[in-house]
Chain A
Amino acid sequence: MTTITATPRPMRSRFLLDRSEVVGPLFIAPAILYVLVLVGLPFLLALYYSVSAYSIFNPSFAFVGLKNFRDVIDSEIFRRTLVNTLVFTISAQIIGLLLGKIGAMLLMQEFRGRGVARALVVLPWAVPVSLATIAWLWMFDSLYSVINWTLIAVGLVDAANRPQWLGQEDLAMIAVVVVHAWRLFPFGVVIFLAGFTSVPKDVLDAATVDGAGFWRRNYQLILPIIAPIVLIALIFGTVFTFTDLSVVYLLTKGGPINSTQVLGTYAFQVGILSGDVAHGAAICLFLFPFLLVAVILLLRSLRRREI
């Protein structure tokens, strides 16, 4: 049916495939089906698990109501996890955005080697997360940490009392935040760069001539123009951070003593490692209200742009 043929065909099928209102839905159907079956259905399944007694040892779908959620909220570890997740998300996000903005302002200038600098700055985000995190694991090594070596060499810490980056509660949190911010900030850089270059140069020049200084140009001119883009970056960045599992899992597995446990790692531990699917699903679903807000914000910003 994809060939141009000279022989007359049955009118009907020809007619059908010529009509875009038939072909259109036919073309989009596989994509929708795939997403419905492997994203929509599993989500419903997660909802159901969370109100059942399902575990891999006892795969029963017995309905238990909101018991799982109550259990989860009652658990001290979970409350700690929730706080950790917020701390982790907010601090990684702030550092990432700040560095992203600074990076974009630097890389916007014309200078020799800018292309190379940009390529290097993008690396943390481009490289597969697990491999990049492994490099940090080595840099945070309890004995051979290059960071500690440097700190000792410049006399900031004592060799006998070297910091255990992944073994002390407060330091472990700092470590996972730094690594995640490191992974995230190149994303901020490229988004801000895209935003900055979309600001018309003549508008800026006019403002400069009219006497607008650096801060004024920045906050009254540039920021409003790039706000929609920054918002999208913020939404994606926050979602990626809030739901992160890889960085924390590889660096600390949530330890020491759950001090870096976040929703993702905790759900993995309960739902997969301990096989308690029902409680794991309940933990995961605490992500949902947050995701819903993100989706609504994103929809709004997309709509506003269309108008």
Chain B
Amino acid sequence: MLRLAKKLAAEGSFYAAVATLVLFAAFPFYWMLITTFKADGDLYDLKSVPYWFNAAPTLEHIRYLFAETLFVQWLMNSALVGLCVVAITLIVALPGGYSLARMPARSAETLGIGIFLTYLVPPTLLFLPLSRVVSRLGLQDSLWSLVVIYPTFTIPFCTWLLMGFFKSVPREIEEAAIVDGCTVMGAFVKTVLPLCLPAILTVVIFTFTLTMQEFVYALTFISSSEEKPVTLGVATDLIRGDIFYWGELMGAALIASVPVAIAYNLFLDRFISGITGGAVK
């Protein structure tokens, strides 16, 4: 009997700990969700319990967001920037990673680590000179500046990730293709790339989420509303005067977050093995 009680207590405290942790992590998202659908009168009411609806839920904030703000434009800007950066990253990182995987081990390691280290160079160190570079290129205040600058952090990371994948493709496969008359380039395109489709998909998803998460460069380079990506537009432009439109703000944050969060969760393990440099075997 006592043993059972002890076991129950241990189990109970375990679940309590898990629940506390999950609550801490997820409460802000629950709060976004509930704010999005609360009517204004309910939202700005100090008396009633705020955790749940005290008046009927409303879609008014969502309607306002899509009909009266630039939200859709920002989403499309983000998508456009993301797609372009994905294309640039693939074009540069695919051959780069392959080359590193097939080089003599010593030079590949030095180069690979060198490229990986640029991932440690933060936007905070570079946003000032880059803002001058961007304005020299005539890209100031245009989302194309982001298309040019974002690959500086997606290329190193993806080259490093792809190097790991290419290493797992046996050399013999390309050698067979070369014996059959392919050039090295041909062997790469015809035999290695098809085998690495899952890896390429990972890179595509990651590049896209990385561009969605960036904030500093966007904040520095872009000031006109129509050119902003969604992460910047929502954070800076959904405010009129000193009044926040909390329902709209939370709705926008929620809608833009969901796809990124799902993608991240799906590819989390790959990302971790990339960032720990394969320290986890």
Contacts and interface: CB of A to CB of B under 8 A. Distances in A.
A and B, one complex? yes
Interface of A: 1-5, 14, 17-20, 23-28, 30-32, 34-35, 38-39, 41-43, 45-46, 49, 99, 102-103, 106-107, 109, 111, 117, 119-136, 138-139, 141, 143-144, 146, 149, 182, 185-186, 190-191, 194-195, 197-198, 228-229, 232-233, 235-236, 239-240, 243-246, 249-250, 263-264, 267-268, 271-272, 277, 280-281, 284-285, 287-288, 291, 294-295, 298-299, 302, 305-306
A270 to B, nearest CB: 9
Contact of A46 (B46, B50, B123, B126): B126
Contacts, number: 288
B244 A138 contact: yes
Interface residues of B, number: 98
Q: Which 8 A-B pairs have the closest CB atoms?
A: A126-B264, A27-B99, A31-B96, A27-B95, A243-B122, A45-B129, A42-B129, A131-B253
B183 A134 contact: no
B125 interface: yes
A17 B247 CA distance: 59
The B interface is mostly helix, strand or loop, or mixed, namely helix
B253 A38 contact: no
B66 interface: no
A14 B125 contact: no
B120 A24 contact: no
B248 to A, nearest CB: 11
A283 to B, nearest CB: 9
B3 interface: no
Interface string B95-122: 1101110110000010101010110111
Contact of A128 (B32, B184, B256): B256
A131 B256 contact: yes
A26 B231 CA distance: 36
A131 B257 contact: yes
B18 A117 contact: yes
18 contacts: A2-B185, A17-B185, A18-B178, A31-B155, A38-B133, A38-B151, A119-B265, A121-B25, A126-B261, A128-B256, A136-B28, A143-B46, A182-B28, A232-B275, A239-B120, A243-B123, A272-B220, A288-B125
Contact of B25 (A3, A123, A243): A123
Contact of A191 (B31, B32, B184, B276): B276
A27 B98 contact: yes
Given A17-B185, A30-B95, A138 B280 contact: no
A98 B71 CA distance: 38
Nearest to B275: A236
Contacts of A107: 18
Given A4-B186, A39-B126, A120 B25 contact: yes
Interface of B: 14-15, 17-18, 21-22, 24-26, 28-29, 31-32, 35, 43-44, 46, 50-51, 91-93, 95-96, 98-100, 102-103, 109, 111, 113, 115, 117-118, 120-133, 148-149, 151-152, 155-156, 159, 178, 180-186, 189-190, 209, 212-213, 215-216, 219-220, 231-232, 234-235, 244, 246, 249-250, 252-253, 256-257, 260-261, 264-265, 268, 272-273, 275-277, 279-281
A217 B215 CA distance: 42
Centre residue among B209, B256, B279 by max chain A CB count within 10 A = B279
B29 A123 contact: yes
A298 B257 CA distance: 31
Nearest to A294: B120
A252 to B, nearest CB: 14
B264 to A, nearest CB: 4
Contacts of B231: 128-131
Contacts of B26: 120-121, 123
Contacts of A122: 25, 261, 264-265, 268
Contacts of B252: 131
B183 A144 contact: no
